[in-house]
A and B are shown apart, each in its own frame.
Chain A
């Protein structure tokens, strides 16, 4: 995708009367950092970019933005929000539409076909960040890193994010404007992370997750970053009833993670944001992807693939699996 085309299109969109602002990516202030940008005018549009460093799923901001009370005598601003999405991000938008988190006509979806983004933490380990922002580009077969004036070619597999190795939707499933050419989907690799847990017995699995959940500091980043965790009053924060005590210990952490994962059953669109932001490096993606796979294989449902779909958690099929019932 040409950055000129992106910026020109963005400028046109934000100049529309029915658009409040556009949410996109822009260069951060350090190393490989990319910042979300709320663009309201042409100057903001000129800063936008799309690169393999744009890992964040901006769909989160559709619901994360604070809804301030409307002062008396004023009208609520009901203009549309424009949003840049990768393939995975677009599924979040579609799923939000399914569950009426946002109405389709309230969002202008700018589709960005995505050849795969990098695992920034992995990249930074291999090629340490410099103070001056660096640039990363797709080069057809892999990535080109431009850092402190030097150009380094990286093999795709070397730094590709795990979620992209498993990606089945590199092209946005919904969009109003598509930027650049569609990407040819690649053969997703086997989910070795989930398989690694699956091959253990119950005790082994428990030991594995016990290790993981014990690390949790209950910062709730995973919940807050998730585009589909947007209840104003999360039940896991609530005291009456108390589903989860506030104490940070293994018992409550486990309950928190079970509840979080369960609430995403049939809703998680596998953008991997929860795992990316986890300061304790808990492989939450494995939990989500395992459930997503069961939903797909056993129930034939793929969240975020169809904005007209019936929500998984609010529907059933007469022949849903019941081999586990006595």
Chain B
């Protein structure tokens, strides 16, 4: 593990709460680590848990999924499904030995720019501690 290792985090954010919250963090000029790249989806319910698997396979060191708080989903119920699906994925990944520090999920509302910053810091810090992910990374990436 090299000292200058910087984790690569892929994040999936719902359009209405967390993506807006991340935008708010930007508008408020909060500073947070640049290790995180966001993929926008309409709802956390859209996040196929296998995206997490795919991200780890394709070179991510950590994955974050963020949606609206329970009860605040723009689509009413999407985050309930996300919570169940990703909770089970987490069980699976931990059982096969993927460090739980590589996978986080959060609820961040459109007004929680500050919470977004904290979530990113926690996610990056955890992935940094867990070290570069080799696991089942694909060797040759063809895209």
Partners in one complex: yes
With known contacts A322-B70, A326-B122, A294–B138 Cβ distance under 8 A = no
- Of the stretches B9-17, B23-31, B32-40, B97-105, the one at the interface is B97-105
A262 touches B50 (CB 8 A): yes
- CB-contact partner of B92 in A262, A322, A326, under 8 A: A262
8 Å CB interface, A272-326 against B: 287, 290-291, 294-295, 298-299, 312-313, 316, 318, 320-322, 324-326
Q: Chain B's nearest CB lies how many Å from the CB of A241? A: 9
B49 touches A262 (CB 8 A): yes
1/0 per residue, CB under 8 A from A, across B55-90: the answer is 001000000000000100000010011011101111
8 Å CB interface, B89-143 against A: 89-100, 104-107, 119, 122, 135-139
8 Å CB interface, A173-216 against B: 197-198, 200, 202-210, 213
A250 touches B136 (CB 8 A): yes
A114 to B49, CA, bound (A): 37
Write out the residue numbers on chain B whose beta carbons fall within 8 Å of the beta carbon of A290.
91-92, 95
**In the complex, what residue of chain A is closest to B82 when comparing beta carbons?**
A316
Report if A259 contacts B (CB, 8 A).
yes
Q: Chain B's nearest CB lies how many Å from the CB of A145? A: 37
With known contacts A197-B95, A251-B138, A325-B105, A262–B84 Cβ distance under 8 A = no
A325 to B122, CA, bound (A): 12
A266 to B88, CA, bound (A): 9
Write out the residue numbers on chain B whose beta carbons fall within 8 Å of the beta carbon of A200.
97
B97 touches A203 (CB 8 A): yes
Query: Interface of A with B (CB < 8 Å)?
Result: 197-198, 200, 202-210, 213, 243, 245, 249-252, 254-255, 257-259, 261-262, 265-266, 287, 290-291, 294-295, 298-299, 312-313, 316, 318, 320-322, 324-326
17 sampled A-B residue pairs with Cβ under 8 A = A200-B97, A202-B94, A205-B94, A205-B97, A208-B97, A209-B97, A250-B136, A254-B135, A255-B53, A258-B96, A299-B84, A318-B70, A322-B70, A322-B87, A325-B83, A325-B107, A326-B122
